[in-house]
Structure 1
Amino acid sequence: MSAGSQLNHPSPGDLALFALDGDLSEEAERHVRDCASCRSTLAQFVRVTEAARAGATDPVRPPAEVWETIRDQL
């Protein structure tokens, strides 16, 4: 993993769109392969996307740190 790959994280919006349609730049895809944080974020978006596509009736509960981040930003 190169130090440069950690400096340019894809935006959460880009990761969400990737979870929806699989369209991410080659550079961003390489970064996600090397960055555990971005892989984790992408995995969460994929989980939500898959649940929505499956028509899940049970809500997908985000991890506690999501609510902590929201609370901190209010």
Structure 2
Amino acid sequence: MEETESKQTLYLVMGGRVADPRSVTFADPESLHVAGVFSSYDAAVDSWRSNAQRTVDDAEMKYVIVHLHKLLDPGA
């Protein structure tokens, strides 16, 4: 069957307290804040930026953008 639709892109924005500010190892993964899932990178960056700026004074808080579409289809 021929694929006729384009690949969907999904981005997850999440954050929480990290064990070391130089890493992305979260100290308590069960308490991560999930800011949302976005279909465009620009929307994900906007969400990441607003959450990161909100916690800018806390060096142990980190927000990241996860490319979900790369995890869902690693061969693409």
Q: TM-score, normalised by structure 2?
A: 0.32
What TM-score do you get using the length of structure 1 for normalisation?
0.33
Which has more strand, going by share of residues?
2
RCO (CA 8 Å, sep 6+): is it higher in 1 or 2?
Answer: 2
More helix by share: 1
Higher-Rg structure is: 2
